[in-house]
Structure 1
Amino acid sequence: MPLSLAGKAAVLCSFLCVSVSILSIAKAEDPYRFFDWNVTYGFIYPLGVRQQGILINGQFPGPDIHSVTNDNLIINVYNSLDEPFLLSWNGIQQRRNSYEDGVFGTTCPIPPGKNFTYILQVKDQIGSFYYFPSLGFHKAAGAFGGIRILSRPRIPVPFDDPAGDYTILIGDWYLSNHTDLKAVLDGGRKLPFPDGILINGRGRNGYYLTVEQGKTYRLRISNVGLQNSLNFRIQNHKMKLVEVEGTHTLQTTYSSLDIHVGQSYSVLFTADQPGLDYYIVVTSRFTSTVLNTTGILHYSNSAGAVSGPFPGGPTIEVDWSLNQARSIRTNLTASGPRPNPQGSYHYGMINTTRTLIVASSAGQVNGKQRYGVNSVSFIAPDTPMKIADYFKIQGVFKENGLADRPYGGGLYLDTAVLTVPYRAYVEIVFQNDEDILQSWHLDGYSFFVVGMDGGQWTTASRNLYNLRDAVARCTTQVYPKAWTAIYIPLDNVGMWNLRTEFWARQYLGQQFYLRVYTDSTSLRDEYPIPKNALLCGRASGRRTRPL
Structure 2
Amino acid sequence: MKAYNLGPGWLAKFSVLTLLILVVLNLAVTTEARARIRHYQWKVDYLYFSPDCVEKVIIAINGQYPGPPIRARVGDTIVVELENGLPTEDVVIHWHGIHQVGTPWYDGTAFVSQCPINPGETFKYKFVVSRPGTYFYHGHFGMQRSAGFYGSLIVDLEQGEKEPYAYDGELSIILNDWWHRSMYDQETGLFSIPFRFVGEPQSLLIEGRGSYNCSLVPSGSVAGSGDCVNCNSSNPQCQPYILPVEPGKTYRLRITSVASLSSLNFILEGHNMTIVEADGYNVDPVVVENLDVYSGETYSVLFTANQNPSQNYWAAVNVRGRKPATPTGLAVLNYLPNPSSLLPSTPSPVSPVWNDFDYSLNQSKLIVARQGYEVPPPTPDRQLILLTTQNKVNGKIKWGINNVTYVPTSTPVLVALKYGLKKAYDPIPPPDYPTRPFNISSPPPNPNAIVGSGVYKFQFGSVVDVIIQNANMLNPNNSEIHPWHLHGHDFWVLGSGKGIFNPVTDPQGYNLNNPPLKNTVPVFPYGWVALRFRADNPGVWPFHCHVEAHFHMGMGVIFAEGWDRLPQLPKSILGCGLSKYL
Shift of 1:290: 4.5
Q: CA contact under 8 A between 2:284 and 2:370: conserved in structure 1?
A: yes
Matched residue, 2:408? 380
Matched residue, 1:284? 319
1:441 to 446, 468, 485: 485
1:257 to 266, 282, 291: 291
Greater alpha carbon shift after TM alignment, 27-36 vs 442-451: 27-36
Matched residue, 1:540? 580
1:471 to 501, 511, 516: 516
Shift of 1:191: 3.4
The answer to whether structure 1 residue 191 and structure 2 residue 198 are counterparts is yes
> In structure 2, what is the Cα distance between the partners aligned to 1:178 and 1:458?
40
Greater alpha carbon shift after TM alignment, 382-391 vs 252-261: 382-391
User: Percent same amino acid among aligned pairs?
Assistant: 29
CA pair 470-171 structure 1, distance change in 2 beyond 3 A: same
Q: CA contact under 8 A between 2:418 and 2:563: conserved in structure 1?
A: no
Matched residue, 2:335? 299
> In structure 2, what is the Cα distance between the partners aligned to 1:147 and 1:299?
27
The answer to whether structure 1 residue 398 and structure 2 residue 421 are counterparts is no
The answer to whether structure 1 residue 119 and structure 2 residue 162 are counterparts is no
Matched residue, 2:266? 232
> In structure 2, what is the Cα distance between the partners aligned to 1:147 and 1:507?
24
Within 5 A, what are the aligned runs for 1:453-468? 453-459=497-503, 460-468=505-513
Matched residue, 1:355? 383
> In structure 2, what is the Cα distance between the partners aligned to 1:515 and 1:441?
15
Q: CA contact under 8 A between 1:169 and 1:200: conserved in structure 2?
A: yes
Amino acid at match of 1:469: N
Matched residue, 2:52? 47
Could you list the per-position Cα deviations for residues 364-417 of structure 1 after superposition, in whole angstroms to 9, with x for gaps in the alignment? 211211111111111111111111222322211124521001122741111121
Matched residue, 1:12? none
Could you list the per-position Cα deviations for residues 414-470 of structure 1 after superposition, in whole angstroms to 9, with x for gaps in the alignment? 112111111000111011113211110110000000101111111210122111111
> In structure 2, what is the Cα distance between the partners aligned to 1:527 and 1:210?
48
What is the root-mean-square deviation of aligned Cα atoms in Å?
1.8
Shift of 1:116: 0.2
Q: CA contact under 8 A between 2:398 and 2:554: conserved in structure 1?
A: yes
**Is the partner of 1:252 in helix, strand or coil?**
strand
Q: CA contact under 8 A between 2:375 and 2:514: conserved in structure 1?
A: no
Shift of 1:30: 3.1
Shift of 1:164: 2.8
**Is the partner of 1:60 in helix, strand or coil?**
coil
> In structure 2, what is the Cα distance between the partners aligned to 1:165 and 1:55?
25
> In structure 2, what is the Cα distance between the partners aligned to 1:175 and 1:147?
27
> In structure 2, what is the Cα distance between the partners aligned to 1:210 and 1:225?
24
Q: CA contact under 8 A between 2:417 and 2:563: conserved in structure 1?
A: no
Q: CA contact under 8 A between 1:47 and 1:175: conserved in structure 2?
A: no
The answer to whether structure 1 residue 142 and structure 2 residue 171 are counterparts is no
1:75 to 76, 80, 87: 80
Shift of 1:518: 6.0
**Is the partner of 2:573 in helix, strand or coil?**
coil
Matched residue, 2:559? 514
Q: CA contact under 8 A between 1:376 and 1:416: conserved in structure 2?
A: no
The answer to whether structure 1 residue 329 and structure 2 residue 358 are counterparts is no
Amino acid at match of 2:72: S
> In structure 1, what is the Cα distance between the partners aligned to 2:262 and 2:205?
12
> In structure 1, what is the Cα distance between the partners aligned to 2:413 and 2:367?
36
Matched residue, 1:3? none
**Is the partner of 1:298 in helix, strand or coil?**
strand
Amino acid at match of 1:113: G
Q: CA contact under 8 A between 1:419 and 1:517: conserved in structure 2?
A: no
Unaligned runs of 5+ in 1: 1-23, 333-340, 543-547
Q: CA contact under 8 A between 1:421 and 1:518: conserved in structure 2?
A: no
Q: CA contact under 8 A between 1:78 and 1:116: conserved in structure 2?
A: yes
Could you list the per-position Cα deviations for residues 105-140 of structure 1 after superposition, in whole angstroms to 9, with x for gaps in the alignment? 1111111011100011112x1111111001111111
Shift of 1:527: 4.5
Amino acid at match of 2:496: M
> In structure 2, what is the Cα distance between the partners aligned to 1:461 and 1:76?
48
Matched residue, 2:217? none
Q: CA contact under 8 A between 2:74 and 2:158: conserved in structure 1?
A: yes
> In structure 1, what is the Cα distance between the partners aligned to 2:411 and 2:253?
40
Greater alpha carbon shift after TM alignment, 143-152 vs 27-36: 27-36
**Is the partner of 2:181 in helix, strand or coil?**
coil
Shift of 1:150: 0.8
> In structure 1, what is the Cα distance between the partners aligned to 2:544 and 2:133?
22
**Is the partner of 1:395 in helix, strand or coil?**
helix
1:151 to 134, 149, 157: 157
> In structure 2, what is the Cα distance between the partners aligned to 1:39 and 1:175?
21
**Is the partner of 1:421 in helix, strand or coil?**
coil
Matched residue, 2:541? 496
> In structure 2, what is the Cα distance between the partners aligned to 1:147 and 1:38?
17
Matched residue, 1:425? 463
> In structure 2, what is the Cα distance between the partners aligned to 1:485 and 1:328?
15
> In structure 1, what is the Cα distance between the partners aligned to 2:180 and 2:352?
26
CA pair 400-251 structure 1, distance change in 2 beyond 3 A: farther
Q: CA contact under 8 A between 2:171 and 2:243: conserved in structure 1?
A: no
> In structure 2, what is the Cα distance between the partners aligned to 1:530 and 1:268?
42
Could you list the per-position Cα deviations for residues 246-285 of structure 1 after superposition, in whole angstroms to 9, with x for gaps in the alignment? 1101111111000011111111111111111100110000
> In structure 1, what is the Cα distance between the partners aligned to 2:380 and 2:161?
31
> In structure 2, what is the Cα distance between the partners aligned to 1:163 and 1:541?
56
Q: CA contact under 8 A between 2:400 and 2:556: conserved in structure 1?
A: yes
Could you list the per-position Cα deviations for residues 220-242 of structure 1 after superposition, in whole angstroms to 9, with x for gaps in the alignment? 11110111110001100111111
Q: CA contact under 8 A between 2:540 and 2:563: conserved in structure 1?
A: no
> In structure 1, what is the Cα distance between the partners aligned to 2:409 and 2:379?
35
Q: CA contact under 8 A between 1:197 and 1:203: conserved in structure 2?
A: yes
**Is the partner of 2:416 in helix, strand or coil?**
helix
TM-score (norm 2): 0.83
Matched residue, 2:375? 346
The answer to whether structure 1 residue 175 and structure 2 residue 180 are counterparts is yes
Q: CA contact under 8 A between 1:213 and 1:301: conserved in structure 2?
A: no
> In structure 1, what is the Cα distance between the partners aligned to 2:581 and 2:64?
35
Shift of 1:293: 1.1
Matched residue, 1:216? 250
Q: CA contact under 8 A between 1:374 and 1:406: conserved in structure 2?
A: yes
Amino acid at match of 1:281: A
> In structure 2, what is the Cα distance between the partners aligned to 1:36 and 1:93?
22
CA pair 527-273 structure 1, distance change in 2 beyond 3 A: farther
Greater alpha carbon shift after TM alignment, 379-388 vs 470-479: 379-388
The answer to whether structure 1 residue 94 and structure 2 residue 133 are counterparts is no
**Is the partner of 2:145 in helix, strand or coil?**
helix
Q: Which protein is bigger by CA-based radius of gyration?
A: 2
Amino acid at match of 1:514: F
CA pair 55-270 structure 1, distance change in 2 beyond 3 A: same
